[in-house]
Structure 1
Amino acid sequence: MTSPSLRVLVLEDHAFQRSVAVNLLRELGCHQVFEAADGAQALAVLEQVGSVDLVLCDLCRKGLDGLGFLQQVCRHGLVRAVIISSSLPADLCRAGRQIITLLGLEVLGEVRKPLQLQALEPLLSKLQASRYTRPAAPRSVTLASEDQVRRALDEQRVQAWYQPKYNLLTGEVCGVEVLSRWVHPFLGIVSPAAFMPVVERCGWLDELLYGQMNHAMQLHKQALARGFDLNMAFNLHTRQLLDHELIPSIQRILGRHGVSGAALTFELSESGLLEVPSTSLESLLRLRMLGCQLSIDDFGAGYSSLKRVCQLPFNEIKLDAEFVRSLDQEPRCQVAISSTVALGASLGMSVVVEGIETPEQHKAVLALGCIQGQGYLYGRPMKSGELLSWLNRRTMSGADSSLEPGWRVVEYGN
């Protein structure tokens, strides 16, 4: 039985089907169930009762259809998740799921008509469980001003936080990704989406990177002294590759801290690799010559060709998290993951799967041949002191104890 705290809206134009859905939801423990016959009526219901956790929605109807309704409500954060109830062909439902996901809504799955209790119950349980493992999608992001970001950088409030990367077979922590978090004195932890566009626009990316590296190199030595040899992965923008001072600056930081380049990985988003000029290619090559690893981040989310992947000196692929999130609803994602693993093996590149949040996803990607992963199931982004304490606790209690329902820091400013 699900929690009665779930608020559900049934959007169905067929009166009998709507009645069946409402009764099944109440039988499953959802005491707050609202109903509407069309999109306009559904909007009126939400205006009266407020936001809901779930909409059980048929995409195809007269007037304001399901997609049109969801496009309107997502702008105001009135709906968190969607179950598609439809008799449309599978390929049309698949396209509908992709559109809904792009709207920022979680698609729990699809149920066919007539609606059955055994099809609906696991999807509701999935929604109930996800309430404790991941936050609702942010409604909007307010971009910080240049003065605010500049002051935050000067006061060192934009800090390096660390998220573990795992060997999925052994549970061993094989590295960490270095992330930026703005620790605001009043707002708490501000989302990177609120300040990173400003950092990029104002040309402060190098300043941020070098500050992160100095902090991370200190942490690397502290971790090494405790027996943890952590590879540190930094996000690098393709425009930074054009700077002739990039490689010398990285060399100076490594020399200052007495750390080998083999301890570093630089991640570049796939979308920025479509056109890489010769100057950038030289920088990539020199990073590899320093011993650094190079990773294609968010692979599968951009548009770079396989030819570019073969041309550039990368040795790691980080598969975009959306493939894992869509495993249950989209069978093609399984093929995409296994094909990427095979591609990596053929090219001599390791593959890291991002976005693993549940034990079921962990088992699924292992079965598809994945060896390395990252996600809230294993560890949240944390400050350096928290990371060292967390590593010590894992050592004392055993690596498998870390594979528990993940959690993440609450990001303000969304």
Structure 2
Amino acid sequence: MTLPIRVLVLEDHSFARAVAVNTLKQLGCREVFQACDGAQALAVLQEVGAVDIALCDLCMEGMDGLEFFRRVGLSGLVGSIIICSSLSADLRRAVRQIVSLSGLRLLGDVGKPLHSQALAQLLEKHRSAPRNDLIPVHVSEQACESEVRNALSDGQLQPFYQPKFNLLTGEICGVEVLARWLHPFKGILSPAVFMPVLERFELLDELLFTQMDQALTLQRQAREQGFTLNVAFNLHAQQLTHHQLTSSIEGILALHDARGCGLTFELTESGLLEAPATSLENLVRLRMMGSRLSIDDFGTGFSSLQRLCQLPFNEIKLDGEFVRTLEDEPRCLAVISSTLALGEALGMSVVIEGIETNEQRQQLLALGCTQGQGYLFARPMSGADLLRWLPVSSVSRQKN
């Protein structure tokens, strides 16, 4: 089978480069280009145009992989990166962060020597990824204030829902609400385009309250179908400084005849370095309403364990980066095990993000994890799609 995928191989060793090129062709890639270093790769891209994937070594005598990532990140000439390097696992993990910070999508890390099966899995992952999930827009291409205000008032900023699962039974525990911009001309746009604007002009509360209104309606519709869904909303630390936050939330709950125990509020730990009195009061009031409080992207910020003990959270969401490298990096296994133990010791549930394979699910179950979220189970979807998907998912789970 021929795959409509264009791949560029960056490798300075001629034999290894030839092996990679031949392997990709045997796997069915339509077009495979090659370069001995980053400089030659940039020249090839200028000549042949954009490629879907760049398979990159990191240590090269000419322009190395790191410089190539920086140079190509803003060009739009590379869709995704596959790292192929013999560097140690801890260094490759740092490089994965560099790829993301360069504005590129990391498809995977196959290490060295190159194995055909691992590469085939990543090609299939690329092929099966929905093309309309998000249009990648670099952070520098943020929308202007007037565009975002109009999108908010016109209802173009819509909630998408990603389910959370019990890893053992497959039962749906709840959904996380994610904002997407349904642009009339550009399609579905990433939060990177509009969230910084909402934050800068203090429009986050307006988005939250609109999302709550829509999500609580969906929660009721799901309940009428026999599904009880906890709904999780993302909160920014800036919103916790608003004195009227919890009273506004209580007002929306009252309009929908809903209870706070059906809600979770997720905050990234990087925003919790300082918690003034008003913020702490809002956190306590949210818990008093019966809502759950979750520290999102745990392990990626800079808050101390002391803050974890001081603030009234009862859920930890471990960042998906630790799962993506679970199989080949002992440090990530240690972080996951330690976080699960920490959660149990503190009486906090632990939800692990980024689960994409059944192998990862089985490893997490073996470690004692029971709740997870990721593309293995479901991608973010619209409310209408979620209501159609719930009965199908339930029937599938019962058959299995």
If the length of structure 2 is used for normalisation, what is the TM-score? 0.89
List gaps (5 residues or longer) in structure 2: none
Matched to 1:376, the amino acid is Y
Does the 8 A contact of 2:167 with 2:365 survive in 1?
yes
Q: Once structures 1 and 2 are overlaid, which stretch shifts more, 381-390 or 277-286? A: 381-390
Matched to 1:322, the amino acid is E
Report the equivalent of 2:118.
122
Report the equivalent of 1:363.
362
Cα distance per residue 1:200-222 (max 9 Å; x no partner): 11111122212222222222222
- Structure-to-structure mapping, 1:38-53, within 5 angstroms: 38-53=37-52
Report the equivalent of 1:300.
299
Secondary structure at 1:398 match in 2: helix
| CA distance, structure 2, for counterparts of residue 203 and residue 102 of structure 1 | 26
Secondary structure at 2:128 match in 1: coil
Matched to 1:176, the amino acid is V
What's the CA shift for 1:322?
A: 1.7
Report the equivalent of 1:407.
none
Matched to 1:108, the amino acid is G
| CA distance, structure 2, for counterparts of residue 155 and residue 98 of structure 1 | 36
Matched to 2:117, the amino acid is E
Question: Is 1:140 matched up with 2:105?
Answer: no
Question: Is 1:289 matched up with 2:288?
Answer: yes
Q: Once structures 1 and 2 are overlaid, which stretch shifts more, 168-177 or 125-134? A: 125-134
What's the CA shift for 1:28?
A: 4.3
**Distance change in 2, residues 1:36/1:186 (3 Å):** closer
Report the equivalent of 1:411.
none
Report the equivalent of 2:333.
334
Secondary structure at 1:195 match in 2: helix
Does the 8 A contact of 1:83 with 1:107 survive in 2?
yes
CA-based RMSD of the aligned residues comes to 2.6
What's the CA shift for 1:306?
A: 1.0
Does the 8 A contact of 2:52 with 2:78 survive in 1?
yes
| CA distance, structure 2, for counterparts of residue 182 and residue 9 of structure 1 | 32
Does the 8 A contact of 1:110 with 1:329 survive in 2?
no
Matched to 1:247, the amino acid is T
What's the CA shift for 1:134?
A: 5.4
Does the 8 A contact of 1:97 with 1:107 survive in 2?
no
What's the CA shift for 1:97?
A: 4.1
What's the CA shift for 1:102?
A: 3.7
List gaps (5 residues or longer) in structure 1: 404-414
Q: Once structures 1 and 2 are overlaid, which stretch shifts more, 332-341 or 11-20? A: 11-20
Question: Is 1:219 matched up with 2:218?
Answer: yes
- Structure-to-structure mapping, 1:398-409, within 5 angstroms: 398-399=396-397
| CA distance, structure 1, for counterparts of residue 43 and residue 25 of structure 2 | 22
Report the equivalent of 2:67.
68
| CA distance, structure 2, for counterparts of residue 188 and residue 295 of structure 1 | 31
Secondary structure at 1:189 match in 2: strand
Does the 8 A contact of 2:317 with 2:352 survive in 1?
yes
| CA distance, structure 1, for counterparts of residue 208 and residue 397 of structure 2 | 31
| CA distance, structure 1, for counterparts of residue 82 and residue 385 of structure 2 | 38
Which structure exhibits the higher relative contact order, with contacts defined as CA atoms closer than 8 Å and separated by 6 or more residues? 1
Does the 8 A contact of 1:163 with 1:179 survive in 2?
yes
- The alignment of Structure 1 onto Structure 2 pairs a total of residues equal to 396
Report the equivalent of 1:109.
109
Identity over the aligned pairs, expressed in percent?
A: 58
Secondary structure at 1:149 match in 2: helix
Matched to 2:138, the amino acid is S
- Structure-to-structure mapping, 1:135-214, within 5 angstroms: 138-141=136-139, 142-214=141-213
